[in-house]
């Protein structure tokens, strides 16, 4: 049901009709402000700028439907500039100064960790659209990206079962997401009988550009006579020289495949993909998925950006899902009051772009399919494997001793982010 009324003046002049469209919203009501907290400069701009743009598109589309609760939506865009402390400052500004009803933002886990205390202190709502390491559940955050069991672990299973991989390089950028994800993956691999000497772990700083010696080490590690793969949690613009160096040293996907968790269509746009062909990525959405909903989304995106070559990607779909869930929750609550919207969010179900539905679970994570895609020469992905159904995001890993007994349920009476099923006690807001 569309909320708000469209003023129909009966005028036929295009200019007068355009000006009359502003009457679609109640004139005596302030707009509902929506915060957009994504890096538009710095090392993460390569990934995050697109998320700002898709939010502007979604807000524009909602306003064309009549807004929300009879009020216009107004985007408030800030640039935290790939500066993690600045994320917290900008989040506080959005909540206190701009009085936004919700914030859609962050990419790296270190940026999310930076803003988390601000959202909990000020009782704001954050929609986080990127895959992450888990080990967190906050009442004030809705995690619309993948948890490890919705990306990392299925990717390892695919390599182990389909590619017969026996040696593992866990290569990541040096911050919380890669380190925690690799800690989970290392424990998972060992639970599957993989020995320590068959696991190589390497971390590099953000923006790392000199990959010659590291790629040489990977090549040497893969020459031991066992099928080897790289599981990559390398983030941001460091991916460009990493893949280029793989090509320089003649590492082909058939020899040592790389499966990436942070390389999608946007990162491949404008990059010479010849050295990357055959390498893999694990996501919950690819632009190449064929169905009417996705085809419409792609068309709308390219029309909005006035660029027929503009690509879509997984975190964009997460914002698409999260935004539509927020709209439905506000309608359900009849208000933008954060406490009421947070309660209304659980159980909301909206279409995803892979042909099914995403549901918000009591742990503030959503249901997702898992897809493995193979990089093609045109920068797109050919889906080579996917789960038969939807996977529920697991916020606490079953493979870490401190987490295996924890669950999250933000409904009453539990209302807890880390309830210990062994002790029957809640550990607080989150770990």
**pLDDT at position 20, please?**
39
Identify the residue with better confidence: 184 or 24.
184
Question: Average pLDDT, whole number, for the chain?
Answer: 92
Element (H, E) at 251: none
388-399 pLDDT per residue, tens: 999 999 999 999
- Please tell me the distance from the alpha carbon of residue 226 to that of residue 242, in angstroms, as a whole number: 23
Query: What is the chain's percent helix, strand, coil content, to nearest 5?
Result: 40, 20, 40
- Please tell me the distance from the alpha carbon of residue 138 to that of residue 409, in angstroms, as a whole number: 10
- Please tell me the distance from the alpha carbon of residue 381 to that of residue 91, in angstroms, as a whole number: 34
- Please tell me the distance from the alpha carbon of residue 243 to that of residue 344, in angstroms, as a whole number: 44
Residue 27's pLDDT band (cuts 50, 70, 90): low
- Please tell me the distance from the alpha carbon of residue 154 to that of residue 157, in angstroms, as a whole number: 5
Query: Is residue 16 over pLDDT 90?
Result: no
Q: What proportion of the chain, given as a percentage, has pLDDT over 70?
A: 93
Q: Could you tell me if 70 and 4 are in contact, meaning their C-beta atoms sit under 8 angstroms apart? A: yes
370-381 pLDDT per residue, tens: 999 999 999 999
Query: Is residue 5 over pLDDT 50?
Result: no
H helix and E strand count, the chain: 12, 19
- Please tell me the distance from the alpha carbon of residue 384 to that of residue 38, in angstroms, as a whole number: 31
The residue assigned the tokens 């017969």 is 164
Identify the residue with better confidence: 270 or 181.
181
Distances (CA, A) of 295 to 52, 157, 307: 21, 30, 15
Query: Is residue 93 over pLDDT 80?
Result: yes
Map residue 392 onto helix, strand or coil. Answer: strand
**pLDDT at position 3, please?**
36
Map residue 275 onto helix, strand or coil. Answer: helix
30-77 pLDDT per residue, tens: 999 999 999 999 999 989 999 999 999 999 999 999 999 999 999 999
Domains of the chain: 14-146+290-368 (3.40.50.2300), 149-289+372-392 (3.40.50.2300)
Q: Could you tell me if 204 and 178 are in contact, meaning their C-beta atoms sit under 8 angstroms apart? A: no
Start-end of H helices in 147-250? 152-162, 176-191, 212-221, 239-248
350-376 pLDDT per residue, tens: 999 999 999 999 999 999 999 999 999
Mean pLDDT of 214-243: 94
How does strand 381-386 pair with strand 73-78?
unpaired
Q: What proportion of the chain, given as a percentage, has pLDDT over 90?
A: 86
Contacts of 398 (CB under 8 A, 6+ apart): 149, 404
**pLDDT at position 26, please?**
61
Q: Could you tell me if 298 and 312 are in contact, meaning their C-beta atoms sit under 8 angstroms apart? A: yes
Query: Is residue 339 over pLDDT 70?
Result: yes
Query: Is residue 286 over pLDDT 90?
Result: yes
**pLDDT at position 236, please?**
84
Map residue 416 onto helix, strand or coil. Answer: strand
Q: SS3 letters for 57-70?
A: HHHHHHHHCCCECC
């Amino acid at each position: 049901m569309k909320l708000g009324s469209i003023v129909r003046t009966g005028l036929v002049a295009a200019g007068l009709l355009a000006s009359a469209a502003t009457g679609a919203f109640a004139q005596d009501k302030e707009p509902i402000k929506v915060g957009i907290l994504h890096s538009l400069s710095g090392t993460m701009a390569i990934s995050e700028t697109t998320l700002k743009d898709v939010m502007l598109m979604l807000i524009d589309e909602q306003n064309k439907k009549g807004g929300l609760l009879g009020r216009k939506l107004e985007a408030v865009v800030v640039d935290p500039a790939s500066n993690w402390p600045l994320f917290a400052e900008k989040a506080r500004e959005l909540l206190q100064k701009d009085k936004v009803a919700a914030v859609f933002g962050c990419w790296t886990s270190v940026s999310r960790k930076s803003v988390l205390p601000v959202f909990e202190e000020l009782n704001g709502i954050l929609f986080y659209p990127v895959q992450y390491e888990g080990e967190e559940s906050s009442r004030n955050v809705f995690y619309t990206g993948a948890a490890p069991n919705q990306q990392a672990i299925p990717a390892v299973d695919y390599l182990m079962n389909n590619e017969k991989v026996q040696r593992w390089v866990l290569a990541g950028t040096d911050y919380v997401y890669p380190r925690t994800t690799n800690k989970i993956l290392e424990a998972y691999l060992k639970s599957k009988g993989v020995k320590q000497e068959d696991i190589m772990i390497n971390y590099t700083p953000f923006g790392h550009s000199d990959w010659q010696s590291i790629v040489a080490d990977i090549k040497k590690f893969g020459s031991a006579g066992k099928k080897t793969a790289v599981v990559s949690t390398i983030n941001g613009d460091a991916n460009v020289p990493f893949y280029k160096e793989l090509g320089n040293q003649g590492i082909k996907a058939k020899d040592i495949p790389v499966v990436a968790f942070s390389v999608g269509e946007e990162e491949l746009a404008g990059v010479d993909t010849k050295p990357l062909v055959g390498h893999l990525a694990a996501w919950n959405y690819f632009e190449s998925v064929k169905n009417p909903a996705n085809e419409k989304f792609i068309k709308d995106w390219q029309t909005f950006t006035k660029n027929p070559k503009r690509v879509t990607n997984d975190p964009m779909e997460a914002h698409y899902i999260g935004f539509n869930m927020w709209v439905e929750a506000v309608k359900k609550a009849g208000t933008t009051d954060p406490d009421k919207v947070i309660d209304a969010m659980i159980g909301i179900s909206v279409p995803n772009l892979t042909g099914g539905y995403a549901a918000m679970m009591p742990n503030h994570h959503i249901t997702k399919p898992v897809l493995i895609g193979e990089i093609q020469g045109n920068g797109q992905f050919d889906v080579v494997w996917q789960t038969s159904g939807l996977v529920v995001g697991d916020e606490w890993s079953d493979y870490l001793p401190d987490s295996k007994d924890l669950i999250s349920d933000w409904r009453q009476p539990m209302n807890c982010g880390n309830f210990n099923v062994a002790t029957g006690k809640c550990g607080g807001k989150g770990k």
